[in-house]
Amino acid sequence: MSLGEFDIIARYFAGHGSRRDVLLGIGDDAAVLEVPAGRRLVVAMDTVAAGVHYPAGTAAADIGYRSLAVNLSDLAAMGAVPSWMTLSLSLPAARADWLEGFAGGLFQLADRHAVALIGGDTIRGPEVVTVQIAGWVEADGWMTRSGARPGDLVYVSGVPGEAAAGLAVIQSPLPGPTSKSGQAAAEHLRQRFLRPEPRVPLGRALRGIASAAMDVSDGLLTDLGKLCAASGCGATLDTDALPESAAMRSLFDAAAVLDFALAGGDDYELLFTVPAERVSLLAALGSEVPCTCIGVVTEGQGAEGQGAEGQGAEGQRVICLCAGQVLPLRRQGHDHFGS
């Protein structure tokens, strides 16, 4: 059965859920939204493409979930409340089973965060999914990457590296582990890659506590470098303080585990800095997701002379300590246009 653009929208994407602030949703030339009085609109967009962000053959439901999760993560990093999304779908063919799976994964996560799909575009082309997310934050209440100051402590939520380890498990040509515990560990890691949990409640809670925040999508070291560059400072990261992952340790050697944690991408955890006098506020949050102090913000190492925006300057902003020794920075995170 061949599905036209209109059928696809009507069957899989229109009429799902409702929000009172959606004055006009799918079906007209554009959507009309009511932004709560006194709030600021926060907008982000992320694309996921087969073979770039997930291996070809990834289940449609996982792609649907992921296309929204990466966007929610961006709003989480701003401390915003997600409300609305648009969806640009480029597909080589309109397959009913794929669309059903995709919409199922997308709306599963959308419903959990009460996000309404308010429009989009549907075209034939290579498999590429773009979601634009919009939400709101209190006036002057958003977080940025640029507020870190020397002396602030560096925190990360969750267990960085597990998503990259999960991707390695998925892509490994070797047979999987045979023991029950090994299989459980492999499945845990696969899920961390396929179904990242955007830290929206944590992002909201960090307003007024964190001095700077961002989400970790390209790898801990690279992203901490970006936060430092935006803040005009440096950081020391203590690898011994990184959260332990029993699942990673059971399937990979120590060097690989450290590599995943420092350079693996796709975690969608929050990386943030907290001034020392506000650390007790963080502890008092009782956040559902554990947050671990992994380092400290510094003045920065010769960052000035190299130009804050200069190529390669980001890597040099972060010094990694392992058992008190400086770790050579041979590993960097993901850059689509990097060599």
Positions 154 through 213 that interact with ligand ADP (CB under 6 A): none
Which of 22, 26, 76, 202 binds ligand ADP (CB under 6 A)? It is 26
Contacts with ligand ADP: how many residues (CB under 6 A)? 13
Give the C-alpha separation, 209 to 275, whole Å. Answer: 8
Distance of CA 196 to the CA centre of its chain: 8
Examine residue 5 and tell whether it contacts Mg ion (CB under 5 A): no
Q: What are phi and psi of 328, to 5 degrees?
A: -60, 135
Examine residue 28 and tell whether it contacts ligand ADP (CB under 6 A): yes
Examine residue 34 and tell whether it contacts Mg ion (CB under 5 A): no
| CA neighbor of 235 nearest in space, from 314, 325, 308 | 314
Strand 212-216 to 269-274 pairing: antiparallel
Which of 72, 109, 117, 154 binds ligand ADP (CB under 6 A)? It is 117
Give the C-alpha separation, 301 to 189, whole Å. Answer: 35
Q: Distance of CA 157 to CAs 208, 216, 267, Å?
A: 17, 10, 10
Examine residue 89 and tell whether it contacts ligand ADP (CB under 6 A): yes
Q: How far is the CB of 45 from ligand ADP (least distance, A)?
A: 14
Examine residue 121 and tell whether it contacts Mg ion (CB under 5 A): yes
Window contacting ligand ADP (CB under 6 A); options: 118-126, 139-147, 270-278, 324-332? 118-126
Contacts with Mg ion: how many residues (CB under 5 A)? 1
Which of 34, 111, 121, 288 binds ligand ADP (CB under 6 A)? It is 121
Examine residue 27 and tell whether it contacts ligand ADP (CB under 6 A): yes
Strand 81-91 to 116-124 pairing: parallel
Rg from Cα positions in the chain: 21
Positions 58 through 87 that interact with ligand ADP (CB under 6 A): 87
- Indicate which of Mg ion, ligand ADP, none lies near residue 303 (CB less than 5 to 8 Å, by partner kind): none
Examine residue 9 and tell whether it contacts ligand ADP (CB under 6 A): yes
Examine residue 33 and tell whether it contacts ligand ADP (CB under 6 A): no
Examine residue 230 and tell whether it contacts ligand ADP (CB under 6 A): no
List the alpha helices (DSSP H) in 195-335.
200-206, 220-231, 246-251, 254-263, 279-285, 303-306, 313-317
Window contacting ligand ADP (CB under 6 A); options: 120-128, 160-168, 223-231, 305-313? 120-128
Give the C-alpha separation, 165 to 173, whole Å. Answer: 14
List the alpha helices (DSSP H) in the chain.
5-8, 60-78, 96-112, 162-171, 180-194, 200-206, 220-231, 246-251, 254-263, 279-285, 303-306, 313-317
Q: In what order do the strands lie in the sheet with 269-274?
A: 212-216, 269-274, 153-157, 291-298, 234-238, 318-322, 325-326
Q: For ligand ADP, give the closer residue by CB, 131 or 205.
A: 131
Examine residue 295 and tell whether it contacts ligand ADP (CB under 6 A): no
Give the C-alpha separation, 180 to 188, whole Å. Answer: 12
Q: For ligand ADP, give the closer residue by CB, 32 or 276.
A: 32
Window contacting ligand ADP (CB under 6 A); options: 27-35, 39-47, 91-99, 264-272? 27-35
Give the C-alpha separation, 271 to 235, whole Å. Answer: 12
Window contacting ligand ADP (CB under 6 A); options: 45-53, 117-125, 149-157, 196-204? 117-125
- Indicate which of ligand ADP, Mg ion, none lies near residue 72 (CB less than 5 to 8 Å, by partner kind): none
Examine residue 107 and tell whether it contacts ligand ADP (CB under 6 A): no
Give the C-alpha separation, 82 to 79, whole Å. Answer: 10
Window contacting Mg ion (CB under 5 A); options: 115-123, 165-173, 177-185, 290-298? 115-123
User: Which spans of this chain sit near ligand ADP (rule: CB under 6 A)?
Assistant: 9, 13, 26-29, 87, 89, 117, 119-122
User: Which spans of this chain sit near Mg ion (rule: CB under 5 A)?
Assistant: 121
